[in-house]
């Protein structure tokens, strides 16, 4: 067969898929612990939602969206990020006051594919809406931090910044623009082109790091309210024992952020793909989408990159493989019983010889082989170093030992 997945997309199969399953189920656990119920929004939305929400000058909107006309001539777009859709859902629900939602699913950006940069990728994230409390920022940042650690990523650097709000940012942006204008000749073409359109984004430039070292810092130009907010966020992180670094150049790619911006960086990965996630506060987004003012804060984490950092796992999707010496009908019946009791069991359905069934058990990485010999009550339990005959009734309990 000559079909392959489209450029920049992947098939995820075992054993890699086990890491996906584990990581996504860990996400369900951690987001629930912090009190975020699931929110699931459509994978495509009206194009306008993203243009208004993400901003027409960001690369995600201008260059990376999968946009097409549907059969009713409406312009729709495969979601490139999660926040705009969730805020739309929140506004549509008519809810007033604090509201939380956690999501998990595929997103789409027309990017130049490489490891950790895909055209279809998976993000998990949360949004905490209807509160402007800095403690909401702290809670959100903590959740991301704990989840990434629990997923098994060792060293993760948390970068934090404030990008001000509509009171203090315009003045700062003007100061920054003047600074950048003087450097126009020494900056990369890409940065120079951004000076007039979106000067904040120049700070993102990796190429121009040295030239930007003495750029004016938003942190020095915050209005009193933003400065106070920032101080409380940092104090909150301190009180929870979460280590972070202030990064004055952290602006994030999307236009709707106000005040807190943060990013999680896996220091063990290549620079091109070491940003495993980030987020921030977006107090003006709901209004930009035509709703009432609803402050909010959230993050998105890239699962593809987290999995990449974890490496290929051992195969371990099974608790046991059941070998039947009396044919596949018996095998399936016994397996069915053990599955009903909660064990993850695989079994041959083709009537393969016993030796071939053992080979299948090894190939599938089953840590335990159960051998059904046809005795109505007993089953053989075999592991690498152990062999025992157990009453069928006790097998599941045997797995729960330790
Ligand atoms: P963003 O929505 O751009 O703030 O991205 C949040 C996180 O999603 C990033 O830190 C990445 O881990 C992940 N991400 C974003 N774009 C891609 C992509 N094209 N491929 C894989 N992961 C991505």
The 10s digit of each residue's pLDDT in 291-312 is 999 999 999 999 999 998 888 7
pLDDT digits (tens, 9 = 90+) for 221-235: 999 999 999 999 999
- The per-residue pLDDT of the chain, averaged, comes to 93
CA of 174 to the centre of ligand 1 (A): 29
Query: What's the CA-to-centroid distance between 228 and ligand 1, angstroms?
Result: 30
Distance 301 CA to ligand 1 centre (A): 7
Q: Residue 34: helix, strand or coil by DSSP?
A: coil
Give Cα 319 to chain centroid, integer Å: 28
Q: What is the Cα–Cα distance from 78 to 9, expressed in whole angstroms? A: 14
Closest CA to 286 of 133, 84, 134: 84
- Dump strand ranges (E) for 337-377: 345-347, 369-372
Distance CA 216, CA 213 (A): 9
Architecture of domain 16-166+222-310: 2-Layer Sandwich (3.30)
In a mutational test of the pocket of ligand 1, which residue from 123, 266, 301 has the highest number of ligand atoms less than 8 Å from its CB?
Answer: 123
pLDDT for 402: 46
The CA 329 to ligand 1 mean position distance, Å, reads 48
How many Å lie between the centroid of ligand 1 and the Cα of residue 387? 48
Antiparallel, parallel or unpaired: β 67-69 and 99-108? unpaired
Q: Whose CA is nearest to atom 13 of ligand 1?
A: 302
Q: What is the pLDDT of residue 36?
A: 98
User: How many angstroms is it from 69 CA to the middle of ligand 1?
Assistant: 25
What is the structure's pLDDT at 198? Answer: 84
β partners of residue 299: 126, 279
Task: For residue 324, give every residue at least 6 positions away whose Cβ sits within 8 Å of its Cβ, in sequence order, or none.
Answer: 330, 331, 334, 347, 348, 357, 372
Find, among 32, 136, 49, the residue nearest to 85 by Cα.
Answer: 49
Task: Give backbone dihedrals phi and psi of 242, rounded to 5 degrees, phi first.
Answer: -100, 120
Helix (H, G, I), strand (E, B) or coil at 151: helix
Q: At what angle do helices 189-197 and 169-182 cross, to 10 degrees?
A: 140
Ligand 1 atom with minimal separation from the 276 CA: 12
Which residue has the CA at smallest separation from atom 5 of ligand 1? 277
Give the residue whose CA is nearest to atom 20 of ligand 1: 117
pLDDT at 386: 87
Report the chain's terminal Cα–Cα distance, integer Å: 47
Specify whether the CB–CB gap between 351 and 325 falls below 8 A. no
Taking the alpha carbons of 70, 72, 73, 79 in that order, is the dihedral positive or negative? Answer: negative
pTM of the model: 0.93
| Residue bearing the CA closest to ligand 1, atom 11 | 302
Residue among 305, 308, 309 to mutate when testing ligand 1 (max atoms within 8 A of CB) = 305
pLDDT mean over 18-37 = 97
CA distances in angstroms from 94 to 49, 71, 97, 139, 188, listed in the order given: 18, 30, 10, 24, 46
**Cα dihedral sign, 207-211-214-216:** negative
Best residue among 302, 306, 308 to mutate for probing ligand 1's pocket (most ligand atoms within 8 Å of CB) is 302
Per the model's pLDDT, the better-predicted residue between 333 and 2 turns out to be: 333
Instruction: Work out the burial of residue 218: count CB atoms within 10 Å of its CB; fewer than 13 is exposed, 13-18 middle, 19 or more buried.
Output: buried
**Ligand 1 cavity residues, CB under 6 Å:** 81, 109, 111, 116-118, 121, 123, 253, 275-278, 300, 302, 304-305
Distance CA(392)–CA(315), nearest Å, equals 26
Residues 271, 354: Cα–Cα separation, whole Å? 50
What is 320-398's CATH number, 1.10.3720.10, 3.10.20.30, 3.40.50.800, 3.30.1360.40? 3.40.50.800
Distance 188 CA to ligand 1 centre (A): 24
pLDDT of residue 255: 66
CB count within 10 Å of CB 389 equals 12
- Cα of 385 vs centre of ligand 1, distance in Å, is 44
Q: Is there a shared CATH topology between the 16-166+222-310 domain and the 320-398 domain?
A: no
Q: How confident is the model at residue 401 (pLDDT cuts 50, 70, 90)?
A: low
Q: Which atom of ligand 1 is nearest to the CA of 306?
A: 12
Q: Give the span between the Cα atoms of 283 and 256, in whole angstroms.
A: 8
| Span 164-202, pLDDT tens digits | 999 999 999 999 999 999 999 999 998 999 898 889 889
- Separation CA 221–CA 219 (nearest Å): 5
Task: Give the pLDDT confidence score for residue 91 in this predicted structure.
Answer: 96
Q: Where are the domains of the chain?
A: 16-166+222-310, 169-215, 320-398
| Contact criterion met (CB below 8 Å) for 259 and 280 | yes
For 118-253, where are the alpha helices, taking DSSP H only?
134-151, 169-182, 189-197, 199-202, 224-239
Distance 401 CA to ligand 1 centre (A): 41
Question: Can you tell me which atom of ligand 1 is nearest the CA of 277?
Answer: 10
CB of 318 closer than 8 Å to CB of 344? yes
Phi, psi (deg, nearest 5) at residue 347? -155, 155
Atom of ligand 1 nearest to the CA of 253: 3
Q: What are the structure tokens assigned to 181, written together?
A: 């204008």
């Amino acid at each position: 067969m000559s079909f392959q997945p489209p450029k920049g997309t992947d098939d995820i199969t075992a054993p890699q898929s086990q890491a996906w399953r584990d990581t996504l189920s860990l996400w369900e656990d951690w987001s629930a612990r912090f009190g975020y119920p699931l929110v699931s929004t459509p994978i495509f939305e009206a194009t306008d939602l993203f243009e208004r929400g993400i901003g027409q000058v960001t690369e995600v909107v201008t260059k990376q969206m999968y946009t097409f006309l549907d059969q009713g001539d409406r312009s729709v777009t495969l979601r490139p990020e999660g926040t705009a859709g969730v805020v739309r859902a929140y506004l549509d629900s008519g809810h007033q006051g604090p509201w939380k939602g956690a999501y998990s699913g595929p997103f789409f950006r027309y990017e130049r594919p490489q490891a950790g940069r895909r055209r279809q990728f998976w993000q998990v994230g949360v949004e905490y809406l209807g509160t402007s409390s800095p403690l909401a920022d702290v809670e959100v940042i903590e959740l991301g931090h704990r989840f990434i650690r629990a997923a098994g990523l060792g060293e993760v650097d948390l970068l934090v910044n404030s990008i001000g709000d509509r009171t203090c940012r315009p003045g700062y942006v003007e100061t920054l623009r003047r600074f950048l204008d003087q450097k126009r000749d020494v900056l990369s073409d890409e940065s120079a082109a951004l000076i007039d359109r979106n000067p904040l984004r120049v700070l993102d430039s990796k190429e121009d790091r040295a030239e930007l070292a003495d750029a004016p810092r938003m942190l020095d130009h915050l209005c009193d309210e933003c400065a106070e907010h920032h101080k409380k966020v940092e104090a909150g992180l301190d009180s929870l024992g979460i280590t972070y670094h202030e990064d004055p150049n952290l602006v994030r790619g999307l236009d709707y952020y106000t005040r807190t911006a943060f990013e999680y960086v896996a220091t063990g990965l290549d620079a091109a793909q070491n940003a495993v996630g980030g987020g921030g506060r977006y107090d003006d987004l709901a209004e930009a989408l035509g709703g009432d003012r609803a402050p909010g804060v959230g993050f998105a984490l890239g699962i593809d990159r987290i999995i990449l950092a974890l490496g290929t796992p051992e195969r371990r999707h099974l608790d046991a493989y059941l070998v039947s010496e009396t044919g596949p009908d018996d095998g399936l019946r016994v397996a069915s019983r053990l599955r009903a009791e909660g064990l993850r069991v695989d079994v041959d359905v083709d009537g393969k010889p016993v030796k071939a069934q053992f080979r299948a058990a090894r190939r599938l990485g089953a840590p335990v082989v159960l051998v059904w010999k046809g005795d109505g009550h007993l089953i053989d339990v075999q592991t690498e170093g152990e062999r025992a005959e157990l009453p069928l009734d006790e097998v599941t309990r045997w797995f729960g030992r330790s």
